[in-house]
Chains A and B, each alone.
Chain A
Amino acid sequence: MDLISKIDNNLQSFQRNIDHSVFLDTRNNAYQKVVELGVPHRRTESYKYTNLKNSLETNTDFPLIEESNLDTSKYAQEGFLNLYCVNGQLFGNIDNLNITKLNQNSLEVISQNQAGFKDDFLYKLNESTLNSGHHFEFGKDFKSDMPIMIHNILDTSMSGIYNFHNTFIVRSEAKVELIECYYTNSSTPTFGNYASNCVLEENSRFTHIHHQDVNFDSTFANSIRAQVPKNSSYESYTITLGGKISRNNIHIDLNGEGANCMAHGVYTLQNNQHSDVSSFINHKAPHTESAQLYKGIMSDKSRGVFTGLIKVDRDAQLINSNQLNKNLLLSKGAHANSRPQLEIFADDVKCAHGSTTGQLSDDELFYFESRGIRPEKARMMLSHAYTYDVLLKIENLVIRKYIQNDIVEKFEKSAFEVKND
């Protein structure tokens, strides 16, 4: 049996085992699409550099989610309002934030976002299993002293595709700072296929960070969607530390005057890790702004892929948009693929995009060494500075510090084998 038929069979049996009939149509439509699209391959333009075949062969099942007795306290982070989502079950609550299981309201968010990812295999696969996940509603004027951290933990010993779908509504005048962390609590290879669907109201601001640190045998995918109306701002950050294969789909629509977005990211890869970021920003209204900065550091035989498309609609005059992808290769076996793209249909716009790929400069390294700093330490400091550039854009210092430390722990210490002295 070929791969897509296996997936098809398992998907159908999964669908028979779940309820939530309110999602039935959505699931069925998506299912049709999955079968029609088939597993992406090298000639699938948006997956040109990312081969999902091995991941899907290891993870053809759609296991029903087990309950977990995991002690979440070890994940708690000081300085954050901690929420835990273990195998799709959520613990914790926050004032003026209404969290419910996926429901009719989520469906409205999802349908508003239908246009995005309509031909994306992973997103449609997620929709075709739509069942597990939550609906977050940040009330009007929402504000919190501390940023929110959701620990998304997959605690299982069964390989397979695990789909989770969250929907977010950010009411007017709300200001949300949210970091979502993704972990696996075992070394079991899994395929976590997440979707985050966001709808903002006017005059709101949503900083939404995805910090991925799943085990090195697992595959991770996240489809992030946002609708940004007049005078609102959506800031997306995707940080990729773990995973064998990682795919971030980002699609942001700027729908009203004064809407703006940032979409930034860092991927630090080692061994055979593979990360793929695919971003699509659509300027649909005049006087909208977008900025993107994605930086990758690749060591060993890892590969970083970036595809970014900025689309400016005909009526979206006087917009300002920039996009930059920079890659640092630390070894001969490391690769970067970068495809910055523009599609502009308006005539009075300011758009800039670019891409660089390079190595650490010998002059910089010699400068460090001439001061007695060891080459490995120098490389580490330079690489640290490379990603810090992106983190500086995160306004909240607690979040910035958390991510920075995690990059040091999970990447820099092993990539550079620096002993503490």
Chain B
Amino acid sequence: MLEVKNVRANVAENEILKGINFEVKPGEVHAIMGPNGSGKSTLSKVIAGHPDYEVTGGDINFEINGKMTDIGEFEPSDRAREGIFLGFQYPVEIPGVTNINFMHEAFNALCEQQGAETMNEEEFRSYVKTKLPLLEMNEAFLDRPVNEGFSGGEKKKNEILQMLLLNPRLALLDETDSGLDIDALKIVANGVNTLKSKYNAVVLVTHYQRLLDYIKPDYVHVLYNGKIIKSGDKSLALELEEKGYDWLTEGLN
């Protein structure tokens, strides 16, 4: 459903991605690991279409209505409407806009795209309430401004809540595990596992193998200096945990 082909990308004239290749099929979970500054976050933002990242080469193809389509020129909102979700490493605080209002707007945007019926406020609230227990969130969260004053863990749970509501075909989760204690990590992982089905795929960007104890990846890719230098199965993550990155990066650069 997703093909990343030889993608190169710049931020402010600096080349961060230097030719990335990988492919994601429905039902798969991919983990992207790598040391700081290797380009992990950039990769997820590039796929979601962040305007600060300039794609200078390669193609990003995404399956739309059964056809692989080059989404390079798609606006971020169009990518989202086609089923790509980005879980932010640092979710943005939006003072003045309530969480429920924000999610309602997003939800209806997707309904509209899919030709499904939109929900009114009341219906949407009831729908959201069914998802809250899973994330151990209470209803008060819905009426607070988006992410404002949320703890790190609450922000990440809020990302997962949005993901579950929007039910994307491709979820890109950018360091969703960072800043979480072990209980919150389990809750978040549980949320992701709820989404998983044979129709959709998850790409986890993470530093630590810890998250992968709870969400089992089918593939693990190691990103280093803007390139994927090794791909493998779950055992690669365990190996990295044990040995670090040095054994892979020696002699590179």
Contact = CB atoms under 8 A, between A and B. Distances in A.
Interface of A: 362-364, 366-375, 377, 381-382, 384-386, 388-389, 421
B140 interface: no
A16 to B, nearest CB: 54
Nearest to A421: B112
Contacts of A374: 77, 109
B184 to A, nearest CB: 21
B96 interface: yes
A386 B95 CA distance: 8
A385 B76 contact: no
Contacts of B92: 363-364, 366-367
A362 B51 contact: yes
Contact of B95 (A370, A372, A377, A389): A389
Contacts of B235: none
Nearest to A389: B96
Contacts of A377: 105, 109
Given A370-B80, A372-B77, A381 B95 contact: no
Interface string B64-89: 00000000000111011100011010
Contacts of A373: 77, 105-106, 109
A382 B96 CA distance: 8
B176 interface: no
Contacts of B48: 370
Which interface residue of B80, B81, B94, B166 has the most chain A CB atoms within 10 A? B94
Nearest to A383: B96
Given A362-B52, A363-B92, A374-B77, A382 B105 contact: no
The A interface is mostly helix, strand or loop, or mixed, namely helix
B210 interface: no
B113 A372 contact: yes
B182 interface: no
Contact of A381 (B49, B79, B97, B166): B97
Contacts of A364: 92, 94
Contacts of B81: 372
B162 interface: yes
B75 A371 contact: no
The 6 closest A-B pairs by CB, nearest first: A385-B96, A371-B106, A372-B80, A369-B76, A372-B109, A367-B92
A77 B113 CA distance: 37
Nearest to B80: A372
B109 A367 contact: no
B27 interface: no
A366 B97 contact: no
